[in-house]
Amino acid sequence: MSLSSVTAFLAETAPDLHVIVLDESTATVAMAAAAHGVAPAQIAKTLALRAGEEVILIVTGGEARLDNKKFKAQFGTKARMLDLADVETETSHPVGGVCPFGLPRPIAVYCDVSLRAFDIVVPAAGAINAAVRISPERMAEITGATWIDVAAAS
């Protein structure tokens, strides 16, 4: 269902974008960067978290790490990663394929400013071997994301 929900979402909101499905897994940042011929930082990884009782998604650059102090300042609470079992339930996407597209219900999406270093980023597309090439600004636009700064300075 996940890959198909992403494909349907993109067909409706951004019909010029196409999901790239590869034969090999791109479930990690390193694997995705190698498969798509981009720098690891250009892989837009989506973190599924709880901020209090709310499930949120934060999309960061592939090499970015969450800064706990910045997160707490932004959300007023400590970041808690979703349990692996909850990730697919909440997003409909498997771990390694989580993205801000084609979600089963509205979930708040945030894009970290680390993505703005690139013209094109490569987020997953609902499967461990699927992705899309998109500008960070367009990704934020079509997902209704809010720009935030929660990644640690590198």
CA 68 to CA 80: how far, in whole Å? 10
Residue 31 — left, alpha, or beta (φ > 0 → left; ψ -120 to 50 → alpha)? alpha
Q: Which residue has the higher pLDDT, 89 or 154?
A: 89
Buried b (16+ CB within 10 A) or exposed e, 105-143: eeebbbbbebbeebeebbbbbbbbbbbbebebeebbebb
State the pLDDT at residue 2: 87
Mean per-residue pLDDT, 56-75: 95
Query: Mean pLDDT throughout 72-85?
Result: 94
Q: H helices within 23-135, ranges in order?
A: 29-36, 68-75, 84-91
Give the mean pLDDT of 13-33. Answer: 93
- 149, 113 contact by CB (below 8 A): yes
Quote the tokens at residue 68. Answer: 């706990």
For residue 40, pLDDT beyond 70: yes
> What pLDDT band is residue 113 in, cutting at 50, 70 and 90?
very high
Average pLDDT taken over every residue of the chain: 94
